Structure 1
Amino acid sequence: MTEDAQAVKLYLDDLTIGQRFTSPSHVMEIDEIREFAGRYDPQFFHLDEELARDSLFGKLAASGWHTAATTMRLLVQSLPLAGGLIGAGGEISWPRATWPGDRIHVESEIVTIAPSRSKPERGLVTFRSETINQDGEIVQVFTPKIVSWRREPPSGK
């Protein structure tokens, strides 16, 4: 989806299993990595290049939570759901680190659509969202359940 497509809002009725969305990209700058880590995940391997050499990573790495927060921004830019992106749970994993200078983007696919039985005006949509770096490597897998609204509730309910 492009930014032009953001003007078009999608409802539960517009979505199909297998539908795909691709975000714009974002470069993970070293200053941004340090700033995020300093505020939210102040561990030495996110803050100090020299100390990070003796860590599991072997060099400075972005916080997984920074990758997650950036992924969220990219999802907002690429999933034009009416009513916004309201989460209702999910799973997250980081199969590899995100490094300073990595250019990441998100590719999302709808894996399930479940209209609500008790709230006919909405349903839950599960996405598989892969955050991918410039080398095609997956740095995060996120499977959020997102509340999605119907244009109109089914009649007779």
Structure 2
Amino acid sequence: MSGLYFEEFEPGQAIEHATRRTVTETDNVLFSSLTLNLAPLHLDAEYSKNSIHGQRLVNSLFILGLVSGITVPETTQGTTLGNLGFNEIKFPKPVFHGDTIRVRTEIVETRESKSRDDSGIVTFRHLGINQRDEVVCDAVRVGLMMKRPAEQAAAAS
């Protein structure tokens, strides 16, 4: 397990995730097709030539999933009890085939759970950044995170 427990998150903390991913045409076409998002801006090269971008756009929901997924090994793998939701999602710049995405997570807030004594709530801000250092995805997510097991907490003190 490589995720962090609730107690290991501090507001203001930033995590630069090691994993980066170059987005391919196959990623975009497959994801758009599987989710039945048949918008020509994602699938039709000829149509997209005449768009404001001059080329196909990568499906923004794929980018949200990629950005969220990249964060898992270093934040929540094995230590999350659930994703409580996304408060805000923005896509300030488009993503195109061949763009490489890296992710930075900022811890916005932590608080004790009001209904569970074995967990706490962490608000994450995930920033997807392309190879030109442009933010392409800005997502605020709330997760229910496990507290450190009692035997580990006792050993740590």
Pairwise TM-score range, normalised by the shorter structure: 0.7 to 0.9
Distance 1:9 1:64 in 2: 26
2:154 aligned residue: none
Distance 1:101 1:149 in 2: 37
| CA deviations over 1:92-147 (Å, ceiling 9, x no partner) | 11111111000001100101001112211111100111000001000000100011
Distance 1:29 1:132, change over 3 A: same
The 3-state SS of whatever aligns with 2:79 is: coil
The 3-state SS of whatever aligns with 2:63 is: helix
The 3-state SS of whatever aligns with 2:10 is: coil
1:4 aligned residue: none
Runs of 4 or more above 2 Å deviation: 54-58, 80-86
Structure 2 unpaired stretches of 5+: 151-157
Among 53, 59, 65, the alignment partner of 1:63 is 59
Percent of aligned pairs with the same amino acid: 25
How far is 1:85 from its partner? Answer: 6.8
Q: Which amino acid aligns with 2:34?
A: R
Distance 1:78 1:10 in 2: 7
Distance 1:9 1:74, change over 3 A: closer
* TM-score relative to the length of structure 2: 0.85
Structure 1 unpaired stretches of 5+: 1-6
The answer as to whether partners of 1:82 and 1:148 remain within 8 angstroms in 2 is: no
Distance 1:73 1:81 in 2: 10
Q: How many residues align?
A: 147
2:73 aligned residue: 77
Among 33, 37, 48, the alignment partner of 1:38 is 33
